Amino acid sequence: MTGLEAKNKRVINGGTFQKFIIYIRSGIRQRCMSSFQQKLIPLVYSEDFFLDYAGRLVTDPRIAIIELVANSWDAQAQNVKIKWPETQNDYFEIVDDGEGMTGEEFSTRWNNLNYKRKLFQNINPQTPPNKKIRPIYGRNGKGRHSLFCFSNSYTVETWKDGKKSIFEVSLLKSQKDPYEVKQIKEGLKEGHGTKIFTTIKNNYIPTEEVIELLGLKFVVDPSFDIFVNNKKIERWDLLKNAGCHPYNITGEGDVKIYIIDSHEPGRLSGLHGVAYWVSKRLVGEHSWKSFENTYLDRRTQAAKRYSIIIEADDVFSPDDVLADWTWFKDTPRNNKIIDSINTHILTTVHMLNKDVRTEEKRNALQLHRNNLRDLGNYSKVKVGNVIEEIQKTCPMIQTKYLSNIIDVVINLEMTSTGYKLLQQLAETSPEDLDTLSNILDEWTVTEAKIVLDLLGGRLKLINEIERRSKDPTIDELHELLPLFTEGLWIFGPEYEGVKYLANKEINTIIKEFFKTKPQLPSKRRPDIISLPDSIIQSFACDDYVDGETTGISKIFILELKKGHITTEERRQAEDYAGLIRKSGVCNSKTEILGYAVGSSIQCEEIKIEGDHVRVVPQSFAIILRRAKARTFNLMDKIKESKKIQPEFDSEIQEILSEPVQDTLKIGETN
């Protein structure tokens, strides 16, 4: 071994070699890190980027051509001239006399992928003196890309301030940029305007369709003329003979609803439906889409007859409309306004369309004139009313089906009012016939029937309350409350009308009284508070001054409880009233009346004069006695006069004893 080899061996054996290796590696790492340069990773665009970004603007030729003309509108042009080819792969151009652009303005706007007009450009453009400024449609700058619907490249010539600039815009396949803009020429030119031209290579539509489409969309402004192949699109005098029906939407403003009645098919056939105009431009299309399954369904005679135009500038602005103007933005406010307008349209057209329904009704009745002669006047009225209700409920019903229904109704009416009545008269005693004669001296049959139906319904209601309140096997609270809801008249004559309605808002306030969340008895009855030993429902009556509601006149709270009504239960009802008063849902003069109804009463009624609150404990027995008294105790008198002994059919009794699933309506109680 040489001296050098021995020295190396000693270094290795001493561990110095390992340290040497670490040193070498550290140096390499430092040199690598010092040589690393930060670099920017560019964004890339897929081939489908523009399809996703611009959407229907570059796929639907109808939207694309509308956007091109809308750009001219925004530029305050008075004339737009379009050369539209007769076939695909031919020359197209659109020229307007709008504001035009300088080369710098075009470069700034066209090279900005999502140009915001409000940020970079005065929203009210410069216009000649004494010229009215039109509202601007464009907001996000996407409309200028609609040329890509027809071709992957196009040319723009624009002139302003004595200069013109010509640019070529091309859609790119590269991942670097979605499109490119090249300025290819500059020159001098007087005036102002813009010309865009290309060759239609994709999505061609016929010239006639272009003319009709532009006529429908830009039909209302006399200062805006459109020419297609040197032929001016004539303005249809749509509103000249239209009926105008102003409609106020509370808290929003007024709209003008124009209803055009076209008795015969013609040029207006393409307009059938409802159209919204905002800032002199059509939103969406003329359509009955929002009225499917109503008496304005597109298949009905009314839909084929009427065209409806809604001028909605007071309630909508272009900011409420989608970027492509195909419909309104889906917001709670917009939807509420549209629903309100649709409801008003249905009511208005239903009234206007009465003669159409009358004609259809007459045609159906004509087939049954012989049988109709055999009916009495009252039965004829009933048949007519049934037909009208069917027409409202089933607007698309065909005449042959309406005729079949009329046949059934006539036969039922003849059976129930003719032969049955003759049989009943034959079996009536002479004394009862004299009584009937005396009744008819003072009442018409119709008046007597109305009164008897009302009393009959109330007597059945009392009978049901009495039966259920005594039956220990039923869910007495949930099955009794629907009956009491039908029988508010039991508590006093002021509840005879329909002005007292169930109030969900007040019930929500009452729920705050309880520490645990009450369980609802049914999803179909959210206006009921259900507790383990009681059930509560509130009713309210509006207060009116000069026909306008000014708040709540009176609140009625009905609480049905299992067992006794004690001072504690009564005090609980007082607390309900206090919560309602503090909530602000009513004013200080609103009367609050509470009834706590149970099997027995162990406390007295209480009045709180200053708060206009009264809580009345009442037993089921007293309630029934009051109900019978309010119907003149007729039930007992009828049973006594006829010596009626209750008899039951076993099958009927079994069905009636089954639990009630929902609110039971007993006869006509009002």
1: helix, strand or coil: coil
User: pLDDT tens digits, residue range 273-331?
Assistant: 788 888 877 888 777 777 766 656 666 666 667 778 898 999 999 899 998 788 999 99
CB 92 within 8 A of CB 198: yes
CB 602 within 8 A of CB 569: no
Mean pLDDT highest for which of 156-170, 255-269, 512-526, 646-660? 156-170
According to the model, what pLDDT value does residue 520 have? 44
566 pLDDT more than 60: yes
User: pLDDT tens digits, residue range 471-517?
Assistant: 777 676 678 888 888 888 888 877 765 577 777 778 777 777 665 55
Neighbours of 155 (CB within 10 A): 18
Mean pLDDT highest for which of 153-157, 630-634, 660-664? 153-157
String of DSSP letters for 279-338: TTEEEEEEE-GGGTTSTT-TTSHHHHHEEEEEE-TTT--GGGB-TTSSSB---HHHHHHH
Residue 656 confidence class, pLDDT cut points 50, 70, 90: very low
Average pLDDT over residues 236-257: 80
According to the model, what pLDDT value does residue 333 have? 95
According to the model, what pLDDT value does residue 298 have? 64
Give, as one character, the DSSP assignment of residue 439.
H
115: helix, strand or coil: coil
According to the model, what pLDDT value does residue 396 have? 65
Give, as one character, the DSSP assignment of residue 592.
E
Considering the chain, what percentage of its residues have pLDDT values greater than 70? 70
According to the model, what pLDDT value does residue 11 have? 46
pLDDT: which is higher, 212 or 251: 251
642 pLDDT more than 90: no
According to the model, what pLDDT value does residue 582 have? 84
Tell me which amino acid residue 81 is: K
User: pLDDT tens digits, residue range 161-174?
Assistant: 999 999 999 988 77
How confident is the prediction for the chain on average, in pLDDT? 76
Residue 332 confidence class, pLDDT cut points 50, 70, 90: very high
Residue 36 confidence class, pLDDT cut points 50, 70, 90: low
Average pLDDT over residues 657-667: 39
Average pLDDT over residues 46-65: 81
pLDDT: which is higher, 243 or 239: 243
According to the model, what pLDDT value does residue 309 have? 86
Average pLDDT over residues 6-20: 51
According to the model, what pLDDT value does residue 650 have? 34
Mean pLDDT highest for which of 13-17, 42-46, 290-294, 579-583? 579-583
Say how far apart CA 250 and CA 273 lie, in whole Å: 25
401 pLDDT more than 70: yes
595: helix, strand or coil: strand
According to the model, what pLDDT value does residue 28 have? 58
Considering the chain, what percentage of its residues have pLDDT values greater than 90? 18
pLDDT: which is higher, 461 or 659: 461
Average pLDDT over residues 189-193: 93
Residue 203 confidence class, pLDDT cut points 50, 70, 90: very high
User: pLDDT tens digits, residue range 381-398?
Assistant: 778 888 887 877 676 677
According to the model, what pLDDT value does residue 123 have? 47
pLDDT: which is higher, 355 or 221: 355
CB 393 within 8 A of CB 434: no
According to the model, what pLDDT value does residue 548 have? 72
Residue 156 confidence class, pLDDT cut points 50, 70, 90: very high
Say how far apart CA 381 and CA 388 lie, in whole Å: 11
Average pLDDT over residues 128-146: 63
Could you tell me where the DSSP H helices lie in 36-124? 49-54, 61-74, 103-110, 117-120
According to the model, what pLDDT value does residue 340 have? 93
53 pLDDT more than 60: yes
User: pLDDT tens digits, residue range 80-112?
Assistant: 999 999 999 999 999 999 989 999 889 888 877
Say how far apart CA 575 and CA 573 lie, in whole Å: 5
Mean pLDDT highest for which of 265-279, 374-388, 568-582, 593-607? 593-607
CB 627 within 8 A of CB 636: no
307: helix, strand or coil: strand
According to the model, what pLDDT value does residue 131 have? 52
264 pLDDT more than 50: no
Residue 638 confidence class, pLDDT cut points 50, 70, 90: low
Residue 229 confidence class, pLDDT cut points 50, 70, 90: very high
Model-level pTM? 0.41
Burial of 482 (0-12, 13-18, 19+ CB in 10 A): buried
